[in-house]
Amino acid sequence: AQTVTQSQPEMSVQEAETVTLSCTYDTSESDYYLFWYKQPPSRQMILVIRQEAYKQQNATENRFSVNFQKAAKSFSLKISDSQLGDAAMYFCAYRRQGGSEKLVFGKGTKLTVNP
């Protein structure tokens, strides 16, 4: 079974600084998707960024970027120029390729942004 591990239960960063959240996963599949979801105190799940495993280029969305290392099964999220609104739980998630495949989530990292 696929597993997702987030080894940092909590992280903190100063406003305007950069922070990296770690995620590793275990799978025997070669084609899959990886995601980072943000969950603010409202508990809404918001997609931050997506990476297709077949793409070598790391995904980028404005201040958010990933470092995808397929061989190492590592998928870290870098947040640049951190803002107070970035404070939230961040969940790494994996999904096999296929129509109805479920998301498998890590336990999350709570990010605090200090002013």
Partner 1 sequence: EPEVTQTPSHQVTQMGQEVILRCVPISNHLYFYWYRQILGQKVEFLVSFYNNEISEKSEIFDDQFSVERPDGSNFTLKIRSTKLEDSAMYFCASMYGTHEQFFGPGTRLTVL
Residues in contact with partner 1 by the rule CB under 8 A: 33, 35, 37, 42-47, 50, 91, 93, 95, 97-108
Instruction: In whole angstroms, give the CA distance from residue 78 to residue 17.
Output: 11
Instruction: In whole angstroms, give the CA distance from residue 55 to residue 49.
Output: 14
CB of 20 to partner 1, least distance (A): 20
Residue 79 or 93 having the CB closest to partner 1: 93
CB of 65 to partner 1, least distance (A): 17
Residue 5 or 18 having the CB closest to partner 1: 5
Residue 64 or 105 having the CB closest to partner 1: 105
CB of 15 to partner 1, least distance (A): 26
Instruction: In whole angstroms, give the CA distance from residue 32 to residue 6.
Output: 18
CB of 18 to partner 1, least distance (A): 25
Residue 18 or 44 having the CB closest to partner 1: 44
Closest CA to 88 of 49, 41, 45, 46: 41
What CA–CA distances, in Å, run from 13 to 27, 87, 90, 92? 31, 9, 14, 19
3-state secondary structure of 86: helix
